[in-house]
Amino acid sequence: MKKSLAIVGAGAWGSALAIALSEKFDRIFLITKDNANTDRLGNQHEALSIPFNSNISIGSSFEAIKDSQAVLIATPSSSFNSVLTNLEPHINRKPVAWVTKGFDPDNGKLLHESFSQKLPNHHPCVISGPTFAAEIVEKKPAAIVVASKDKITRDFWAETIQTNNLRAYTNSDIVGVQVGGSVKNILAIAAGIANGLGFGANTQAALITRGLAEMTRLGVALGADKVTFQGLSGMGDLILTCSDDLSRNRRFGKELANNIPTDKALKNINATVEGFKALKLVIRIANNHQIEMPICEQVLAVTEGKITPREAVNELLLRKPSEE
């Protein structure tokens, strides 16, 4: 039997995974948002250096899922619920996982909670970690984590996603992996602001370290294992996203540092900035659990135009000394 996989979402990450996994599968079905997106995509995603292989079929119909053995969701968090609705008539018992990062903006829940509501007969599974799409298609070595409470599910997806250049690890802490994948995008905006203001390595190290503390506090309050944040989906993804301009969140922060208004900065990035989308929701969840997230709070204040980027830095530095 020929091996086939459906990937829903043809952004940079979905397209990169289609290319990377096309050497492992006989057929990849890459499902776009609509026919216009299919036409615009053509034979190569604009953010990637490698064209699609001939065994990648591109189209907007969910009917392709009937011919697939498994489904991988690679859409922004804002589309996650609608994708699940469209999937439901086609998947039967096929394994489903997602590489989407962020909370569900429709209800403020983690994505695995929304998934279980929509597809109660499937085991939720998230795939996350320090991976830039552009480097994956160029076969530069990387590692990723597959998280599910169900061992059979996470082992299946670890085997599915692993290639000669992409090493997969497994984790049962689906809450921690998701929190790390969401919050790191906000912290990358802060790192971009600091870099755009001309600050150096000292600032970067402080932001990453204290940002990790914020991420961990929130995750533990939501039921995550503290150790998860020391791994690929926590510290690993945070270091990556804060340190390189391949991160659209970091680039967005650099735009803000130049006093460019939020709306114009988002237009300049011309891609989904998940950190911005998650900001208000993460702060609201943190407040509901009485969790301090001062770096994230200052990023929100900057994006809302309440303070300048330099004032945000001053606010953080002038806080009362506290135990690490």
Q: Give me the mean pLDDT over the 157-163 stretch.
A: 97
User: Which pLDDT band, with edges at 50, 70 and 90, does 317 fall under?
Assistant: confident
> Bridge-partner residues for 170, per DSSP?
146
For 145, phi and psi rounded to 5 degrees? -120, 140
Domain ranges of the chain: 4-172, 178-317
Contact 182, 274 (CB under 8 A): yes
Q: Give me the mean pLDDT over the 122-126 stretch.
A: 98
Q: Which CATH superfamily is domain 4-172 in?
A: NAD(P)-binding Rossmann-like Domain (3.40.50.720)
CB hemisphere CA count around 189 (13 angstroms): 28
The tens digit of pLDDT for each residue in 198-238 reads: 999 999 999 999 999 999 999 999 999 999 999 999 999 99
Which amino acids are annotated catalytic?
A: 184
**Could you tell me which CATH number the domain at 178-317 has?**
1.10.1040.10
Q: Give me the mean pLDDT over the 64-90 stretch.
A: 95
Put residue 108 in one of left, alpha, beta given phi > 0 → left and psi -120 to 50 → alpha.
left
Mean pLDDT of all residues belonging to the chain: 95
pTM reported for the whole predicted model? 0.94
| CA dihedral sign, ordered 113, 233, 270, 39 | negative
